[in-house]
Amino acid sequence: MGNRGAMASLRASWWALLGLGACAEDPPPAPPVVTLDTYDSALARAFCESVRRCGLSRPEEQLAAVLGTGEACERRLRPLFTVQLDDLAGLVRTGATRFDGVALERCVARIRVRCALGREFLENPCPEAFVGAQPDGTPCFRSEECLPGSFCQNGIPGVRRCGGVCRPRAPAGRQCSPEQLCVVGAVCDPPSGASARCHTLEYVTDASEGSMCGLVRGSDGTRRSVSCVAGAACSSRHGTGVCTAIGSKGTPCDARVTCGAGLQCLGSPPLCREVPILDTVGEPCDPSRVQNLCNPLERLQCIAGRCASLGDAQEGSACTGGDLSWRSCERGLACDRSSASCRQALPMGSACAVDGDCLSGDCSDTDPRVCLERLCR
């Protein structure tokens, strides 16, 4: 009997090791690697990896040049996400939203392999990582405050005077518009008008050079968001483009060629050139921005041959134009190039030259260029 008891005990231990014991419990799931405390550093690292892999479109080439690569990119970009983190962490503390670390990990993994990221990503990179508690019909400022499946209609993150209301998102097949967003994972195409409908969006990566990229419409009515293979960039930021090789240092460049991270299309003849970025007030600088560039992310500008601070970014403060003008002024303000000072940003439909002119932060790519309505996602 003793031997039989010992064998029974051994068999029970063996089945338990295999996970088949009647009382065996599954091990607790591993905690997410990305936490709320590491939100800013994780997103900065993922975005920089994407820029290194496939650059940015020409309208945002200066951003790619300023960010550079590796540790310098992460160091310069992280403060932008830290500002978001402060706002979102406040919502978590008050119970207005709940943080989902697993969802953020999935989002960060997608960012590393996706291209065609731009300023809109910097402002609202992973909304699915925050689960709101506000029911439809209640006031909001960010979509992260609203219940899953809803969004903040007419709210713009960071602009507290532009509050909105939580509304349900439209499912695939339903009509959509700038005022009626689609469910997460779907796209409104065309963006507005009577024929605008929500379409389920399939993400495709590693499209080869010469292939279509961006928003690609299938003959069967499908919509795909296509990113290019590493070393290529999409020629269009909003619509359908073509994957073209990213220019390396010294490569001739034009409107069709995107220079790689840390490079900018400058000079005569125009070449992809490495431009040293200056981060300190008082450093000697080149006003032509060919030899070096005062870091606009730090609100610096070359004045009288030295990097100078542009001020506090409030209305009336000095600012710089270009595709990074949105960093010169606080949200809700834009850099007026005629006076080189911050003024109230332009509403939808107003004539614009760069994204930073508009309250929505989105100036159309085609003429006549006007401010588009881009609501809080």
The whole-chain average pLDDT of the chain stands at 77
Higher pLDDT among residues 365 and 283, named by residue: 283
- Please report whether residue 374 resides in a domain: yes
Comparing CA positions, the residue from 150, 142, 154, 153 lying closest to residue 171 is 150
Residue 350 forms part of a structural domain = yes
Each residue's pLDDT tens digit, 146-204: 999 998 887 554 444 456 889 999 999 999 987 888 998 888 998 888 899 999 988 88
* pLDDT higher than 90, residue 99: yes
pLDDT band of residue 377 (cuts 50, 70, 90) is: very low
CB–CB of 332/359 below 8 Å? yes
Would you say residue 32 lies in a domain? no
Evaluate whether residue 343 is within a structural domain. yes
Strands, E, within 133-289: which ranges?
139-140, 150-153, 164-168, 186-189, 197-207, 212-217, 223-228, 232-234, 240-245, 263-266, 271-274, 277-278
Instruction: Assess if residue 109 is contained within a domain.
Output: no
- What per-residue confidence (pLDDT) applies to 294? 86
Average pLDDT over every residue of 243-264 = 83
278 occurs within a structural domain: no
- Counting the structural domains of the chain, the total is 1
Q: How far from chain centre, in Å, is Cα 106?
A: 15
Give domain status of residue 363, yes or no: yes
> Are residues 257 and 235 in contact, defined by beta-carbon separation less than 8 angstroms?
no
**pTM assigned to the model:** 0.65
What mean pLDDT comes out for the span 350-375?
Answer: 74
pLDDT of amino acid 5: 44
Distance CA 356, CA 38 (A): 28
Q: Which of 207, 187, 211, 212 is nearest to 197 (CA)?
A: 187
The one-letter code for the residue type at 10 is L
Q: What is the largest CA-CA distance in the chain?
A: 98
What is the C-alpha to C-alpha distance for residues 123 and 125, in angstroms, rounded to an integer? 6
Which residue has tokens 């978590």? 92
Q: Is residue 220 part of a domain?
A: no
3-state helix, strand, coil in the chain (%, to 5): 25, 25, 45
User: Which one, of 193, 168, 189, 163, lies nearest residue 180 by Cα?
Assistant: 168
Is the pLDDT confidence value at 38 over 50?
Answer: yes
d(CA 327, CA 343): 13
Give the span between the Cα atoms of 148 and 132, in whole angstroms.
Answer: 7
Q: Tell whether the model's pLDDT for residue 25 goes beyond 80.
A: no
pLDDT (average), residues 312-317: 82
User: What is the rounded distance in angstroms from the CA atom of residue 234 to the CA atom of residue 256?
Assistant: 9
Is the pLDDT at 305 greater than 80, yes or no?
yes
Full residue range of the structural domain in which residue 349 is found: 310-377
The answer to whether 45 and 75 are in contact (CB under 8 A) is: no
Nearest to 140 by CA among 154, 149, 152: 152
CA atoms in the 13 A half-sphere facing the CB of 134: 26
Q: What percent of the chain has pLDDT over 70?
A: 77
